[in-house]
Chains A and B, each alone.
Chain A
């Protein structure tokens, strides 16, 4: 009985396989041109996958003391020993070795605060909102220390910790600033509208690296003598301003997309401008903006790597001392690949998250109707 069932399932899986194979063959051979390209891609893909597996896994060296040793042990393989030795620098930069638990706690708290984005149906939303509200203060205290904790200075912070500090602050602060700029650009007050438009277009017209130069070189000239702001804070301020200009354009697009009736109805109800915006317009506009905003946030997260050009030790900046280290000099691909995989993971996750959030909100809308 059992044997016959398994035989049956074998047979059905066999026919399923044949069916799939037949479908695949039919699909691949839709047109001669396309099938030639498809075969070429398949061959290249299989060859590439084989190379990646042999180079990156089978022939790789996982524990060596120097690149020389790596190459001697595994001449045709990757040298992952560098990651094993330096992963702490990639994550935290030159953060004091004994204190690395503090940024780790910050990462975990951040992950917890982001849980409602991943599971929109989660209960106790108030708790998560409270956590998100106090998170900047806890994170600042834990990272910089003071009040009994060993204090850490900005130039010791690096790696993905730096990326997240700049990225998360840019995301958090550029949203309110961007909303204000968008409202200002659409304002009926001529002076406000012109100022906001000019500011947005000015920022959007220049590359981020030029804006970072302003932060790293010029800002000290424009402040009173003796008022030296920390380089980290300067960078965060200019990145926030940069991101806000792009956020403002996305939000302006959604504000235009809100039907006129919504504005007119709220004025007819006797709402003031700010009441209308906060209770009627912005909740709808922000929902419309989610895909655009998420794109900008992913872009900003990737663009934080530019701070390595002005001398901060973000994950890309950390690679330079490694490549000039006598023990590891000459290593090329492995550290970049490690950083690329982590960036890919976060950015891909964020884009998937935004699609999920969109679907959830669309579903909630349908249920509400």
Chain B
């Protein structure tokens, strides 16, 4: 007597791995992983053979060797005897610094122009639209190179430059301002007071549940400038508290705090370019607020600025923030164009100077990619955090 079987209980046979929908996906995944593993093994063995052929090894020991090059602009102490690892840290800090400043100015510019595009005044609306269309259709690298070329070609040389109030001077080398020199305890104190003030600011805006865009951005800008100045003050040699003024010695200005033109060009280019991108985000966010809201606030007797500040902007902000943060991510990534003007950011140091000095291509570029990924992941985490908070706020 034959066995009775229900459908689907056929004995397992090998061809079912390829034909049966229950197993086919697993088989396919197995083969994909197998091919991938073979590919990775092939790539790695090639790399090993190629490295051996030129007598190189794969190790990150070189990071602790002296860099033996100078960096023109660094927030922490650095000289030719410092290690490559310290150079990487300088680059990372420089990337974060220029990206932070560019984020702030690009946001201010973007909000102004994004609101300007929706102005009832045709001159403002048209000129804002023209700005956005012109800037976002030109390569960022081109904007950067033009600004840099203009700065170094059309500004006077240090010997010909005129000083403003005996304190501020702008030359074809950079922009020099006086700087506070502080000792360590005072620096720590100032930074913590600033941070506290900054934190209290956030608490305040939560309680008042009202957004003051201009005040907000102004406060962030000022505190960032102060923090940056203090960060740079740490590395001055003198332990006394005082003011260091830029003084012309020979062919250049020494003392004070000098921002090189490469940093200014990069900051301006990133702000102008991403300002136009952010303006588009702001505009679409504002347009997504239903027109009834604006009409209702008019009907309640609010004027244009009150309607914008109290009714429309607060509703548009949750829609603007996520694309805004992804623009910040783009600013961090695009700050890598620094290598084209010689601003010592992460790419210029790891992909340029250290790579040329040590000849360790694989290690340098892997480290470069890993650090950028780390920055991207941190910013993505902020986006996710914000989205989660907005979702929680909507459900509550």
A interface vs B, CB < 8 Å?
Answer: 24, 27-28, 30-31, 33-35, 37-38, 41-42, 45, 188-192, 195, 202, 204-210, 213-214, 217-218, 220-225, 298, 302-303, 305-306, 308-309, 316, 319, 330, 332-333, 336, 339-340, 343-344, 347-348, 351
Contact B139 A302 (CB under 8 A): yes
CA–CA, A41 and B337, complex, Å? 31
Q: B134's closest neighbor in chain A, by CB?
A: A344
Contact with A along B316-352 (1 / 0, CB 8 A): 0000000000000000011011011000000100010
Contact B145 A42 (CB under 8 A): no
Shortest distance between the CB of B322 and any CB in chain A (Å): 13
Q: Can you list 25 A-B pairs, Cβ within 8 angstroms, ordered by A?
A: A31-B305, A45-B127, A189-B29, A204-B376, A205-B372, A206-B333, A206-B372, A206-B373, A210-B372, A213-B368, A221-B46, A221-B51, A222-B46, A225-B53, A303-B139, A305-B141, A305-B142, A306-B141, A309-B337, A309-B340, A316-B139, A332-B153, A339-B142, A340-B138, A347-B137
Contact B340 A195 (CB under 8 A): no
* Residue numbers in A under 8 Å from B385 (CB-CB): none
B377 at interface by CB-CB < 8 Å: yes
Contact A27 B121 (CB under 8 A): yes
Number of B residues, CB within 8 Å of A: 56
Which residues of B, 212-256, contact A by the 8 Å Cβ criterion? none
* Residue numbers in A under 8 Å from B121 (CB-CB): 27-28, 30-31, 34-35, 37-38
Which residues of B, 134-180, contact A by the 8 Å Cβ criterion? 134, 136-142, 145-146, 149-150, 153-154
Interface residue SS majority, chain A: helix
* Residue numbers in A under 8 Å from B51 (CB-CB): 221
Which residues of B, 22-48, contact A by the 8 Å Cβ criterion? 25, 28-29, 32-33, 36, 43, 46-47
| 5 closest residue pairs by CB, A with B | A205-B376, A347-B137, A38-B123, A207-B333, A207-B336
B81 at interface by CB-CB < 8 Å: no
Contact B362 A225 (CB under 8 A): no
Contact B149 A189 (CB under 8 A): no
Residue in B138, B150, B365 whose CB lies within 8 Å of A210 = B365
Contact B36 A217 (CB under 8 A): no
B50 at interface by CB-CB < 8 Å: yes
Q: B48's closest neighbor in chain A, by CB?
A: A221
Residue in A204, A223, A348 whose CB lies within 8 Å of B137 = A348
B93 at interface by CB-CB < 8 Å: no
B15 at interface by CB-CB < 8 Å: no
* Residue numbers in A under 8 Å from B373 (CB-CB): 202, 205-206
Q: B372's closest neighbor in chain A, by CB?
A: A206
- Which of B47, B145, B150 gathers most chain A CB within 10 Å? B145
* Residue numbers in A under 8 Å from B46 (CB-CB): 221-225
Contact A207 B347 (CB under 8 A): yes
Contact B138 A308 (CB under 8 A): no
Q: A323's closest neighbor in chain B, by CB?
A: B149
* Known interface pairs A206-B376, A210-B365; A316-B25 also in contact (CB < 8 Å): no
Given contacts A302-B138, A309-B141, 9 further A-B contacts (CB under 8 A): A28-B121, A38-B121, A202-B373, A205-B376, A209-B336, A209-B337, A217-B365, A225-B53, A332-B153
* Known interface pairs A24-B122, A207-B333, A332-B153; A189-B368 also in contact (CB < 8 Å): no
CA–CA, A305 and B304, complex, Å? 43
CA–CA, A220 and B49, complex, Å? 12
Residue in A24, A209, A332 whose CB lies within 8 Å of B149 = A332
CA–CA, A348 and B373, complex, Å? 32
B124 at interface by CB-CB < 8 Å: yes
Shortest distance between the CB of A142 and any CB in chain B (Å): 27
* Known interface pairs A205-B377, A210-B336, A333-B150; A41-B124 also in contact (CB < 8 Å): yes
* Known interface pairs A38-B121, A217-B361; A210-B141 also in contact (CB < 8 Å): no
Contact A344 B137 (CB under 8 A): yes
Residue in B145, B369, B376 whose CB lies within 8 Å of A316 = B145
CA–CA, A222 and B292, complex, Å? 60
Contact A222 B47 (CB under 8 A): yes
* Residue numbers in B under 8 Å from A298 (CB-CB): 137
CA–CA, A195 and B123, complex, Å? 51
CA–CA, A42 and B121, complex, Å? 12
CA–CA, A145 and B156, complex, Å? 50
B207 at interface by CB-CB < 8 Å: no
Which residues of B, 88-139, contact A by the 8 Å Cβ criterion? 119-124, 127, 133-134, 136-139
CA–CA, A28 and B36, complex, Å? 64
CA–CA, A207 and B372, complex, Å? 8
* Residue numbers in B under 8 Å from A37 (CB-CB): 121, 124
* Residue numbers in A under 8 Å from B339 (CB-CB): 209, 309
Shortest distance between the CB of B123 and any CB in chain A (Å): 4
Shortest distance between the CB of A52 and any CB in chain B (Å): 13
* Residue numbers in B under 8 Å from A205 (CB-CB): 372-373, 376-377
* Residue numbers in A under 8 Å from B43 (CB-CB): 222
Contact B141 A42 (CB under 8 A): no
* Residue numbers in B under 8 Å from A24 (CB-CB): 122
CA–CA, A134 and B47, complex, Å? 37
* Known interface pairs A188-B25, A206-B333; A340-B124 also in contact (CB < 8 Å): no
Contact A34 B32 (CB under 8 A): no
Q: B141's closest neighbor in chain A, by CB?
A: A305
Which residues of B, 356-394, contact A by the 8 Å Cβ criterion? 361-362, 365, 368-369, 372-373, 376-377
- Which of B28, B29, B139, B369 gathers most chain A CB within 10 Å? B139
* Residue numbers in A under 8 Å from B340 (CB-CB): 308-309
Shortest distance between the CB of A45 and any CB in chain B (Å): 7
* Residue numbers in A under 8 Å from B355 (CB-CB): 217
* Residue numbers in B under 8 Å from A213 (CB-CB): 351, 365, 368
Shortest distance between the CB of A44 and any CB in chain B (Å): 9
Contact A190 B127 (CB under 8 A): no
* Known interface pairs A34-B119, A209-B336, A343-B142; A225-B49 also in contact (CB < 8 Å): yes
